[in-house]
Amino acid sequence: MKASVVIPVYNKAPYLRECLDSVLAQSFKDYELIAVDDASTDGSSEVLRSIDDPRLRVIALDRNVGPGGAAQRGMDAAIGEYILRVDADDIMLPGRFAKQIAFMDERPEIGASSGHLQLLSDPTTLHHVELEDADCKARMLFGVPLNQPATIYRRSVLVEHDIRFKDEWPRYGEDWMQQIEIARFTRFHNLDEPLIRYRQGTNNIAHGRDRPEDLRVLYRYVFAHLGFTISPEELELQLMTVRCIPVPVDATRVKAFQRWLENIASQNARSMTFESGALQRQLDRIWKEFFYQLPAFGWAPSITHLRSSESPTWKQLYYLLAFMLRRGASEKEKKG
């Protein structure tokens, strides 16, 4: 068996048939399809039972274990050379499996790979991932290096090193934790193209959660496992690397954030955990993108950022002026 497709399913009945149809319609055919029903209560079980295809095997769990636990039970049952992960509410682009398997066959040193996500709500918008191994791994300090709904694994790497989703992990960010484990033993490389159509909304596990608190839990784990230190005060600054800003930003906080990014680079220079150029590219991108969050907090933090940057751009200046003019016009309209 060349590949095993693993789909954890929990209360995805409205979208499940469309997802399964996109899997079964793939141009690549040599795979088994393992759907793990994570004790659904919405009719997902009935949708799975309605599929008449010999490649489909359904594992029904008697209790809900979460997306990571359900995926792991499917991966434990897999016999394919590769494991392709699918989320039960997404739609596969037609050539996904064929492209990923051909790539993995050509690159035996790669243990895991994914690609970009195309948003179902806006097909012109892609959720990008880094491509090369060094850039993927430097990304791990800030977010997932692989888009899990579009991931392919070399099963032998997972089995040889006993890499598993753990039931005690949180139900949000478990993919990040797993990918940190995989990165210790193999190389990553992502395809520079979208592989799935990704559904956003209330169906996502992140919907309605306390994002800052989730990130605090994850960053404590990530920094500890990658050998970096982070204080409670630095943890609050780290949230801003992914545009999570739970408290207002002033000029002092902008300077503190810049020092925190420099601290990350200094820690890495000592530990050599990541290729220094790859990490610096991440830090430069974060610092640049941070600017576009600041005009909402007034002139002072925005000007502080520009003055602290080696090469502020005309684009940034234009954005700041345009934002302030729009806000001024809006406030004038409210008063009038």
Q: Does 225 lie in the same domain as 165?
A: no
Domain assignment present for 206: no
Q: Does 194 lie in the same domain as 293?
A: no
Helices (H), the chain: 13-24, 44-49, 66-77, 96-106, 133-138, 155-160, 174-183, 211-226, 232-239, 251-271, 276-290, 299-308, 314-335
Q: Does 233 lie in the same domain as 190?
A: no
The per-residue pLDDT for 205 is: 63
Q: Measured between alpha carbons, how far is 18 from 47 in angstroms, rounded to an integer?
A: 10
> Given 176, 198, 220, which residue is the final one in a domain?
198
> Given 167, 198, 229, which residue is the final one in a domain?
198
Domain enclosing residue 249, as ranges: 211-335
Q: Does 176 lie in the same domain as 218?
A: no
The per-residue pLDDT for 208 is: 67
Question: Within 10 Å of residue 42's Cβ, how many Cβ atoms?
Answer: 13
The per-residue pLDDT for 33 is: 98
User: Rounded to two decimals, what is the model's pTM?
Assistant: 0.92
Domain assignment present for 282: yes
Q: What string of pLDDT tens digits covers the 336 residues of the chain?
A: 999 999 999 999 999 999 999 999 999 999 999 999 999 999 999 999 999 999 999 999 999 999 999 999 999 999 999 999 999 999 999 999 999 999 999 999 999 999 999 999 888 889 999 999 999 999 999 999 999 999 999 999 999 999 999 999 988 899 999 999 999 999 999 999 999 999 987 656 655 678 999 999 999 999 999 999 999 999 999 999 999 999 999 999 999 999 999 999 999 999 999 999 999 999 999 999 999 999 999 999 999 999 999 888 889 999 999 999 898 777 766 765
Q: Which two tokens stand for residue 301?
A: 């933090």
> Given 198, 226, 243, which residue is the final one in a domain?
198
CATH number at residue 114: 3.90.550.10
Domain assignment present for 318: yes
The per-residue pLDDT for 209 is: 78
Provide the domain count of the chain: 2
The per-residue pLDDT for 128 is: 94
Q: Measured between alpha carbons, how far is 104 from 100 in angstroms, rounded to an integer?
A: 6
Q: Which two tokens stand for residue 327?
A: 């806000």
Q: Does 310 lie in the same domain as 168?
A: no
Domain assignment present for 203: no
Which residue type, as a one-letter code, is found at position 164? Answer: R
SS3 (DSSP) at 307 = helix
Q: Does 295 lie in the same domain as 153?
A: no
Q: Does 188 lie in the same domain as 306?
A: no
The per-residue pLDDT for 201 is: 73
Q: Does 73 lie in the same domain as 172?
A: yes
Q: Does 35 lie in the same domain as 124?
A: yes
Residue 120 near residue 160, CB atoms below 8 Å = no
Domain assignment present for 241: yes
